[in-house]
Structures are given as structure tokens and as C-alpha cells.
């Protein structure tokens, strides 16, 4: 079954606890938390204190997506409040060492690639990844349209993960909706990040159920 990881960046932060409870009731499998520093991406979101507060009020796994420059500098702090901890291949950290550190700190490791990065560039790191995240939009802002070239990247990564016999999960983030979700799943994605599509739905539970039922 497909996993749903709603992005809380779309939530109302004044009533964030209520929105998280709505996501739990809708059947979300984890919560996607976008950490942005205004350097690696042209936007700023939140950091460890907010994630720690969220962690106190939910049993859902926290899928933390670091969109920050040289993330290896902050792995220990974020690992303390994360279940999945991911960073960008392009962000200037030693990739293998950072993935190993995440695992050593008790988190599941995730490596993320931007639309400009070929999937073959991360093949050597797949055995160190519990999850790989393919961005189907330019990272930094919500509400962007799905980039169809992400589908080929998902297919290539799924084929290589299968060839290596790994249990690595494959996640996609950006522009996920009723039309693009089935395409992403058909291309090999097993975890879908959705923000606007979930929060704007008149029936969040029905929308989540529809996504999770994809095969």
C-alpha cells in the first residue's frame, strides 16, 4: 500500500495541533516537515524547536526534509527529533558519511535529489539509504506544478533499488494531486508527499484513502 506523508508546511501554524489531529484521523502514515534556511533554498520555515513541539503531540513518524546548506553540521540536533531524516545530495555535505551518521543516531536515512540531478549520480549511495526522495518541483515553495521528468527518475531509481535487492523506500514530493499521484506510483514511488491537495480537500479522509489505495 502507498504511504502518505502530508506536508505540514501547508497547515495553519496557529492551529497546528488541530491540523495534525485531522491528518491522523485521515490516515496519514507520517508527517513531512520541510526545514528551509533561506540559503540552500530561497525560503525560511522552521527548525528543531517546532519539530520537537510537534513530536510531543503525535505518534506519527516525522519525515524531516532538510533543505539547508551543509546539513552535516546539524545532523545530531535534527536526529534527536526525527524518525526519517533526509538531506539534499546537492547541499554540500559528505554524502556517505552523513547517511551513516543519521543511521548511527537511530534515524532512518533519506537522500534527496533536486530536479536538476540525474538519478544515476546517487546509485552508489543507495545501500546507505532507507529512503530516497525525488523532488518533482524546485524545492523551497509549495503549490508548484508537478514536473513530469520526475517520473523517469522514479522509474530509474526503482529499477536500481530492485536490482540491488534493497528495501529502500522511494518518495516523491511536489505537485501531487489526483492526476499526478497515480503516475508517480506507476513509476515506482511508494511514499507520496502532499500538501495543498490534502489540506484543500473538502474531505481529507476520502482524499487520503484514495491516495493510499493506489497500486
Report how far residue 31's alpha carbon sits from residue 171's, in angstroms, rounded to the nearest whole number: 13
What pLDDT does 108 receive? Answer: 98
Query: What does the pLDDT look like over 2-53, one tens digit per residue?
Result: 999 999 999 999 999 999 999 999 999 999 999 999 999 999 999 999 999 9
CA angle 128/50/145 to nearest 5° reads 65
| Fold classified for 3-212 | TIM Barrel (3.20.20)
Model confidence at 140, in pLDDT bands (50, 70, 90)? Answer: confident
Domain ranges within the chain, ordered by starting residue: 3-212
Residue pair 135/142 in contact (Cβ under 8 Å)? The answer is: no
Mean pLDDT score, 73-98: 98
25: left (phi over 0), alpha (psi -120 to 50) or beta: alpha
Q: Which residues lie below 8 Å from residue 33, measured CB to CB, with a gap of 6+?
A: 7, 8, 9, 46, 51, 54, 62, 63, 64, 65
Per the listing, cell 535529489 goes with: 113
- Known catalytic residues? 34, 173
Per the listing, cell 533519506 goes with: 110
Query: What does the pLDDT look like over 150-207, one tens digit per residue?
Result: 999 999 999 999 999 999 999 999 999 999 999 999 999 999 999 999 999 999 999 9
65 burial class (0-12, 13-18, 19+ CB within 10 angstroms)?
Answer: buried
Pairing state of beta strands 31-36 and 62-67? parallel
Report how far residue 23's alpha carbon sits from residue 30's, in angstroms, rounded to the nearest whole number: 9
Which residues pair with residue 173 across a beta bridge?
135, 193
What dihedral angle (degrees, nearest 10) is formed by the CA atoms of 128, 107, 61, 160?
0
Report how far residue 17's alpha carbon sits from residue 98's, in angstroms, rounded to the nearest whole number: 31
What pLDDT does 38 receive? Answer: 95
Amino acid at each position: 500500500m502507498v504511504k502518505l506523508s502530508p506536508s505540514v508546511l501547508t497547515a495553519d501554524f496557529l492551529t497546528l495541533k488541530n491540523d495534525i489531529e485531522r491528518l491522523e484521523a485521515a490516515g496519514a502514515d507520517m508527517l513531512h516537515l520541510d526545514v528551509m534556511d533561506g540559503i540552500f533554498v530561497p525560503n525560511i520555515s522552521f527548525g528543531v524547536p517546532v519539530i520537537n513541539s510537534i513530536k510531543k503531540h503525535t505518534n506519527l513518524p516525522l519525515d524531516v526534509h532538510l533543505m539547508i546548506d551543509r546539513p552535516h553540521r546539524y545532523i545530531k540536533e535534527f536526529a534527536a527529533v526525527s524518525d526519517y531524516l533526509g538531506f539534499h545530495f546537492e547541499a554540500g555535505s559528505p554524502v556517505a558519511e552523513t547517511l551513516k551518521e543519521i543511521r548511527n543516531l537511530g534515524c532512518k536515512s533519506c537522500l534527496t535529489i533536486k530536479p536538476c540531478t540525474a538519478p544515476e549520480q546517487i546509485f552508489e549511495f543507495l545501500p546507505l539509504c532507507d529512503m530516497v526522495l525525488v523532488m518533482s518541483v524546485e524545492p523551497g515553495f509549495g503549490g508548484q506544478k508537478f514536473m513530469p521528468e520526475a517520473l523517469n527518475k522514479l522509474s530509474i531509481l526503482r529499477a536500481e533499488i530492485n536490482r540491488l535487492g534493497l528495501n529502500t523506500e522511494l518518495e516523491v514530493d511536489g505537485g501531487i494531486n489526483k492526476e499526478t499521484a497515480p503516475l508517480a506510483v506507476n513509476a515506482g514511488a511508494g511514499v507520496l508527499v502532499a500538501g495543498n491537495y490534502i489540506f484543500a480537500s473538502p474531505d481529507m479522509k476520502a482524499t487520503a484513502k484514495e491516495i493510499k489505495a493506489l497500486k
